[in-house]
Amino acid sequence: MSYDAPPPPPPPPPGQANPYGQANPYGQPGYGQQGPAADYAHWGKRVGALLIDGLLMFLTYIPAVIGVVIIVAGAETTTVNGTTSIENDDIGAAPILLILLSGLVYLGFYIWNIFIKQGRTGYTIGKGILGIKLISEQTGQPIGAGKAFLRQLCHILDGFFYLGYLWPLWDAKKQTFADKIMTTIVINQPKARG
């Protein structure tokens, strides 16, 4: 006795509606069907998004730069026996507070943009501007803040000789090593306006 499944019903003739049911309402292919290939974001867009995010991170250093300038401007230079030293006995609290504030703003912005925002939506500010999105390869959904954090840790491997960051140039899915480890992909998907 054989327990083979019955063959699937034949497809409807051209021009006729499918009598066996509707298409999947979620837009995903049905069991055993192949969906359209993902529209992977090319390397240039990924680098562009990284540069935009990096520029925004750089702007958080402005208070620290102002604090350092205040400290240096109030310093006195002395030379003794050919050795130059810089002293500032009256620094004051303002420049130190500016430097600390800058560090807190940097850390807060980084956590929000890279882990929380990207984890929940798939977009950093840079990715949103360039219309690319980070998603799980299995679910097609954003990966969450925890996995976004782990993915950033995995980027340490990408940094060895920058090979992992260059890997998307020839990889079929345009993945870095961190993407391969975390099973994530970056796709072209412009952010909805409004």
pTM for this structure? 0.74
pLDDT computed for residue 16 by the predictor: 52
Beta-bridge mates of residue 78: 85
pLDDT computed for residue 143 by the predictor: 97
Burial bucket for residue 153 (CB in 10 Å: 0-12, 13-18, 19+): exposed
Phi-psi region of 27 (alpha: psi -120 to 50; beta: other; left: phi over 0): left
Q: What is the pLDDT along the chain (194 residues), one digit of tens a residue?
A: 556 656 665 555 555 555 555 544 444 555 554 556 789 999 999 999 999 999 999 999 999 999 999 888 887 877 888 787 777 677 788 899 999 999 999 999 999 999 999 999 999 999 999 999 999 999 999 999 999 999 999 999 999 989 999 999 999 999 999 999 999 999 999 987 75
The distance from CA 4 to its chain's CA centroid, rounded to whole angstroms, is 46
Q: Where are the alpha helices (DSSP H) in 2-92?
A: 43-59, 62-73
Please state, in angstroms and as integers, the Cα–Cα distance from residue 19 to each residue in 9, 57, 121, 190, following that order.
10, 56, 37, 35
